[in-house]
Structure 1
Amino acid sequence: MRFAVNLPALFTIVILVSVWPAQALPLVEKKVFTATDFPLFSGQTLPEVKVGWESYGELNESKDNVVLITHYFSGSSHAAGKYSADDTQPGYWDAIIGPGKPIDTEQYFVISVDSLANLSAYDEHVVTTGPASINPATGKPYGLDFPVVTIRDFVNVQKAVLETLGIGKLHAVIGPSMGSMQALDWASAYPEWVPRVAAIIGTGESDAWTTAALEHWARPIKLDPKWSDGNYSQQAPPTEGLVASLMLITQQALHPQYFNQQGEQLDYQALESAPLNDIRQSHSIVTWLEDRARSRADKMDANHLLYLVRACQLFVAGHQKSLQAGLSKIQAKSLFLPATSDLLLMPYLSAHTHEQLQQAGKISHYQELTGSLGHLEGVLDIQEQGERLKAFLADKSARNE
């Protein structure tokens, strides 16, 4: 079956997918969680935290059928379903979440939470606390006075949401990309909560290469004169820097094979007349990339992007001094699904974490996603591993079940 998908990395693509015989989810309702005096990993405290969350399926009487979905860098808690009948696109993992699908909402209560400093700060369907939020001490946006937040802080907000629902243990936690970081940190920080953890297109830590690569995402914003050391208004944001960052993120999240296919559709040529005759003009593929980034920039906040970059740069599972120390706490059965064509979080990162867990005597499985979508295989082509995920959730071999 063919259909168009709105890529989270800012453009549209048509892909082929396998569709399970299943019903559509009921319309999704965004709910809001609020907490005061929320302690952060850094030791600082946020006077108020407000985040959105969504759920699909029903919580059973014993409250032990909970699957937590942790979202990727530019994503949100909208993992599946639609907000209204005329929505053009469902949540990003709708292919595998729903009645009769691999993450079966007739069996599991599936829940997801917007991150702190969520990139889409101005999206009507996102609720987040971050640099664009009002600092109650000043009545103005926090800007760079907002404290640095970590993947552990995202996990702790999710835990607080779950506890308000009376939930004290998960059936599984599953997430792609930045979501894989959250999933693994869950398993390390709260091992008694997590019997199963699936890390899709992910890593157990931000190594030196990854940290430096992520810094390139932040640099265009910092070089935009309108950034003004983070003290800009929503009326005059550093849009050009943000667009440049989004262009880079989009390209790095894909594979050259996809870009070359897109170039063919655009009739891209190295010797195009516009860039040949005017240094200010761009090639068709560059214009295409910029247009897609610019179309989404107005819903996003530049400072939020910087804070998400820093959270990813600071990541090591368990938030201890070494990956080995963090992984030693994990009791969960683990599943790693990196993408062979991923040039962003390359497969060696998942493979290293998987091997470390096996060497420590933990139950861990590894399988690479194939295809030409690069990093986005784990978002847009995850149904390739739908049966594996279904079996993983059903397997009772987890030691702390």
Structure 2
Amino acid sequence: MRLITSLIFWVALAVSAEPLMVEKQRFTLDSFTTANGQVITPVNIGWEAYGTLNSDKSNAILITHFFSGTSHAAGKYQANDTAPGYWDAIIGPGKAIDTNKFYVISSDTLVNANVFDKNVITTGPATVNPASGKPYGLSFPVVTIGDFVEVQKALLDSLGIKKLHAVIGPSMGSFQAIEWAVRYPDKVARLIPVIGSAYMDTYSAIKLQRWAYPILQDPSWHNGNYYDKGQPIQGLSTALAYITQDALHPDGFNPRYPAISTDTGLHQRIDALPLAWQQLLAQARLRAEKQDANHILYLVRASQLWRAGMGDNWQQALGRVKAKTLFLPASGDLLLPPALSKHSAAAMSAAGNQPQYAEIPGNFGHLDGVIGIAAVAQQISTFLN
């Protein structure tokens, strides 16, 4: 009963609180050298912040976002925005990540998927290469989770922030959060990987190849050189439809789409498309207006290459983590299932750091780490304080 009462309190608080008003800021590096030795000149990313940095700059929390997300983690840009940032339920005054106490920073990654969103600032394949005057396309270097972290570190260095109270991120954001704690163990006091893992196993990496395949097979992709012709919209939309389906548990997916049993057209024509697929694809087409096909490919590759420390032995790399750690997988996650978090936590324990572990309940699978995060608000609050 006490747990239920506490959960109701946190959900009510998240719903009733006035949204923060935030603005996007730009961070620029004159040049950046990637892990594979390629130089990008310049690099721009967007970032936003919530709360106030204290005098000794010791209250900063970094939020690292998921695959299709942006730095818009909380608040609104305009009062009439249809929705606040994706983790508004837990970021704000009096919430689990309390902006009365903490200065919360969130940044766009390199090659952010939503490059055509007016509130996203990111350098990637769709960016014009100053040397040629044309978009980079596939001449843009392969980038890694480690590269994302290094750009974030440069941002924090520019703000004079030398240590983080915590790094927290969902999904691909969990990869970045863990890499922060591995690379800079003295700079990260607390670590919360949400719906994530310290490594990408072969099964999961090949599952992500299914997201890339429709783009690579679309004739309109033109080997990545499509910017003067238009996006390979069919391939991109199909990829985004797969991403949506893979992020949902069947219990969350089935009620949202027409049942196959009522789809009469399927009985008449072999080339008829299920209504559920048509709806999923139509929704994906809308999202495709703000996203870029090459950027999706680069994020797939960055995720496929992920392992803590970016070396041959991710288990050994976890031995460098000093941060107090809380793993938060989603119980119904079929994309990055709890087993990956459990294996990661076990490897960390074997290396001498005893992490905490809890699961996010819900019916939406991987997406419970975003839309259902309020269910573990109290655990997050207690951990941070």
Give TM-score, length-normalised by structure 1. Answer: 0.91
Q: Distance in 1 between matches of 2:306 and 2:17?
A: 38
Q: Given that residues 205 and 317 in structure 1 are in contact (C-alpha distance below 8 angstroms), is that contact kept between their aligned partners in structure 2?
A: yes
1:209 maps to which residue?
203
Assess if the C-alpha contact under 8 Å between 1:66 and 1:108 holds in 2. Answer: yes
RMSD value, Cα: 1.3
2:302 to 311, 316, 335: 311
Structure-2 separation of matches of 1:356 and 1:273 = 51
User: Partner residue of 2:132?
Assistant: 138
SS of structure 2 residue aligned to 1:19: helix
1:343 corresponds to: 334
Answering whether residue 191 of structure 2 is matched by residue 191 of structure 1, we say no
Q: Bigger shift: 335-344 or 227-236? A: 227-236
Cα distance, 1:85–1:235 mapped onto 2, change above 3 Å: farther
Matched, 1:289 2:280: yes
SS in 1 for 2:85: coil
Deviation, structure 1 residue 203: 0.7
Alignment match, 2:44? 50
Q: Which amino acid aligns with 1:369?
A: I
Query: Which deviations, in whole Å up to 9, do the C-alpha atoms of 1:39-64 show, x marking residues without a partner?
Result: 11112111110000000000000100
Letter aligned with residue 89 of structure 1: A
Q: How many residues align?
A: 375
Q: How does 1:229-308 map to 2 (within 5 A)?
A: 229-233=223-227, 235-263=229-257, 266=258, 268-270=259-261, 272-308=263-299
The equivalent of 2:60 in structure 1 is 66
Alignment correspondent of 2:6? none
The 1-side partners of 2:64 and 2:263 are apart by 43
* CA distances 1:161-204 after superposition (whole Å, capped 9, x unpaired): 11111111100000000000000000000111101000000010
Alpha-carbon distance between aligned partners in 2 of 1:308 and 1:225, rounded to the nearest angstrom: 21
Q: Which amino acid in the other structure matches residue 31 of structure 2?
A: D
C-alpha separation in 2, matches of 1:272 and 1:109 = 51
CA distance in 1, matches of 2:355, 2:299: 28
Asked if 1:371 is matched to 2:374, the reply is: no
Q: How far apart are the structure 1 equivalents of 2:49 and 2:148? A: 17
Letter in 2 for 1:378: G
Identity of aligned residues (%): 50
Partners of 1:278 and 1:172 lie apart in 2 by 55
2:98 paired residue number: 104
Q: Pick the aligned partner of 1:182 from 173, 176, 179.
A: 176
| Alignment correspondent of 1:35 | 29
Rounded Cα–Cα distance in structure 1 between residues aligned with 2:379 and 2:32: 37
Q: Which residue number corresponds to residue 222 of structure 1? A: 216
**Other-structure match for 1:321:** 312
Query: Counterpart of 1:199 in structure 2: which amino acid?
Result: P
Q: Secondary structure at the match of 1:328?
A: helix
Question: Which amino acid is the alignment partner of residue 110 of structure 2?
Answer: L
Name the SS of the counterpart of 2:168 in structure 1.
strand
Give how far 1:373 is off.
Answer: 0.5
Runs of 4+ with deviation above 4 angstroms: none
Report the CA distance shift for 1:24/1:271 in structure 2 as closer, same or farther (over 3 A). Answer: closer
Gaps of 5+ in 1: 1-16, 395-401
Instruction: Report the secondary structure of 2:339's partner residue.
Output: helix
* SS in structure 2 at match of 1:68: strand
Q: CA deviation at 1:322?
A: 0.9
Give secondary structure in 2 for the equivalent of 1:318: helix
- Offset at residue 271 of structure 1 (A): 5.1
Structure with more helix by fraction: 2
